[in-house]
Chains A and B, each alone.
Chain A
Amino acid sequence: MAAINRDDVAHLARLAHIEMSAEELDRMAGELAVIVESVKSVSEAAGEDVPATSHPIPLTNVFREDVVGHTFTAEQALSGAPDAYEGRFKVPAILDEG
């Protein structure tokens, strides 16, 4: 497995939508390299024949009755929004028109 480096962290930070300063990228790359190294053994622990477990106690076909349950009013849904306009969330520009 490849070690994690500063460029990887910069790329991951962009994917995760977290702006990072140069100093932060350096520090994070160092810390993550140590963590990734320490979890490496996990990839060698289980053979091909071991099935994956995603949920500890799997339940199947969890459905509810097809009736209207509790819903928020628009006012409640918008109550924590940083910006709203005429009953809707107000979002910054999606595209850069530069």
Chain B
Amino acid sequence: MTENNELIRSSAATLAGKLAAREVSAVEVTQAHLDRIAAVDGKVHAFLHVNTDEALAVAAEVDAIRAAGGPAAQELHALAGVPIAVKDLIVTVGQPTTAGSKILEGWHSPYDATVVKRLRAAKMPILGKTNLDEFAMGSSTEHSAFGPTHNPWDLDRIPGGSGGGSAAAVAAFEAPLALGTDTGGSIRQPGAVTGTVGVKPTYGGVSRYGAIAMASSLDQIGPVSRTVLDSALLHQVIGGHDPHDSTSLPDPLEDLVAAASIGNVHGMRIGIIKELHGEGYQTGVENRFNESLELLKSAGAEIVEVSCPNFKYALGAYYLIMPSEASSNLAKFDGVRYGLRVLPEDGPMTIERVMGATRAAGFGDEVKRRIILGTYALSAGYYDAYYGSAQKVRTLIQRDFDAAFAKADVLISPTAPTTAFKLGEKLNDPLAMYLNDVATIPANMAGVPGLSLPGGLADEDGLPVGVQLLAPARQDARLYRVGAVLESLLEAQWGGPLLDRAPSLTEPSPGTPSLADPALNDTVASHGGSH
């Protein structure tokens, strides 16, 4: 059990080293994570599907290749045998893909997303598919049609969204790595509230082929992990040009792992964005953010202040552009080609009425809200005032970034204005929910890359705070360089990773008998939830 505990708490980089040295087998590593999922996912609900057989088969294949030695063993990818979880917005052959929606319940994709193909080529066992807000629309994972994910730090709180499942899986040591998607913050904000690392690469830097589209000009797939280096390792696997995605950048991928290993920020100019801290940000978030600035300064970075005056329009413009694109992208769910078909209760059985009944039953409230809002913003008479204006704001935001990056190499802000809130707290107030993404949205609007890493725990509630780094388009390497330095400075202060302070999730609560029997342990896990 202690050995397993060590395996699940290891970083992907450490696991890769142990696998290469044959200190541990890929089957052991994969099984340890599957056991952890069985033990805690009843409480956390990070997974919608667990891919036990295929994951173990891939692990066994890696072990066989290593045991045989020779060129095939030499050619194995560094992450071969390191397991990973995949957000259920990304299509996979052999497992269901639901996008967190009733409309796709039980659907199996006939093809793999490019990023999944790359995981398979690297022989990384896929542990399963993680929970999300329906079609990635939300900031709390409460809009999943299959029930919310719980934050491993406090099971009564949200794990962020939309990629709460991927972030919680990594935070709860159910997987060392996961894939997420980020349209307005869906990788970075869950990273912030779960004390994990998440990266939104430059737009076009990672292929989106096989990611079910929400807003095509904003969506980006990226890595989720517990360390900055692990995100760099995963980014290196999934990044680079893909002819199947017409928005994929032709540029060769930078050496991101090397960037994460540079180890100094001396002389770098780091810009604080005036508009993205202060009023509206929780005190504990602000305090931890200021500490990170001090640490970077002590390491020789120059801290400068920059102003991005048009960021105040970013949230509003985002809530016009994103629903407009989503309403168009989701028109394909018509009850004919895939997914659910619901027949109207009475009257003529025409395609139009079948579509209306199917979409009424298949989509949840938030999806309907965004489709209607998008249809409105695109409709004749309103197009110029709404969609057209929002696209102009996008230009202004890009100009703000250009001006800021003339003064700074990297920008810094809190990732989210607050720590994790209680499940249900903002569910009936869409606008309050949307405000969670105020600091992450500008990056998507401009296509620039962003990284969130843990900045510590807020004094008032003991919950994780995220620090966000932003770099110019195509300069993702800078995020890894600064992120790795800040992470090591913070961990030196804490005396270890932040997640060492998270609840174990398996310790019996005081007064309950010892749970030595694993079968009994499973039963408890599946009935857990009250924390």
- Whether A associates with B in a native complex is yes
Residues of A within 8 A of B (CB): 1, 4, 8-9, 12-20, 24, 28, 31-32, 34-36, 38-43, 45-46, 50-57, 59, 62, 64, 70, 72, 76-77, 79-83, 89, 91-98
Give the Cβ gap from B352 to chain A, nearest Cβ, in Å. Answer: 7
- List B residues 311-349 near A (Cβ within 8 Å): 313, 316-317, 319-320, 327, 331, 334-341, 344, 348-349
Contact between A50 and B357 (Cβ–Cβ < 8 Å)?
Answer: no
User: Knowing that A45-B310, A45-B389, A57-B247 are A-B contacts, what are 18 other residue pairs whose CB atoms are under 8 Å apart, sorted by A's residue number?
Assistant: A1-B382, A4-B376, A12-B379, A18-B356, A18-B363, A31-B369, A32-B372, A32-B373, A41-B313, A42-B316, A43-B386, A45-B392, A46-B396, A50-B395, A51-B395, A54-B391, A76-B110, A83-B341
A77 to B108, CA, bound (A): 11
Dominant SS at the B interface?
A: helix
Going nearest first, the 9 A-B pairs with the smallest beta carbon separation are A56-B447, A80-B338, A46-B392, A82-B341, A52-B391, A39-B316, A19-B360, A76-B110, A53-B394
Contact between A53 and B398 (Cβ–Cβ < 8 Å)?
Answer: yes
Contacts of A1 in B (CB 8 A): 382, 385
Q: Which single member of A13, A34, A79, A80 contacts B372 (CB below 8 Å)?
A: A13
Give the Cβ gap from B122 to chain A, nearest Cβ, in Å. Answer: 21
A4 to B369, CA, bound (A): 13
Contact between B348 and A16 (Cβ–Cβ < 8 Å)?
Answer: no
Dominant SS at the A interface?
A: loop
**21 pairs across A/B with beta carbons < 8 Å?**
A12-B376, A13-B372, A15-B375, A15-B379, A17-B356, A18-B371, A19-B359, A28-B368, A31-B369, A31-B430, A38-B431, A39-B316, A39-B386, A45-B317, A46-B395, A56-B398, A72-B110, A79-B110, A80-B108, A83-B341, A93-B350
Residues of B within 8 A of A (CB): 107-111, 202-204, 217-218, 243, 246-247, 249-250, 310, 313, 316-317, 319-320, 327, 331, 334-341, 344, 348-357, 359-360, 363, 368-369, 371-373, 375-376, 379, 382, 385-386, 388-396, 398, 430-431, 444-448, 473
Contact between B335 and A19 (Cβ–Cβ < 8 Å)?
Answer: no
Contacts of A18 in B (CB 8 A): 356, 359-360, 363, 368, 371-372
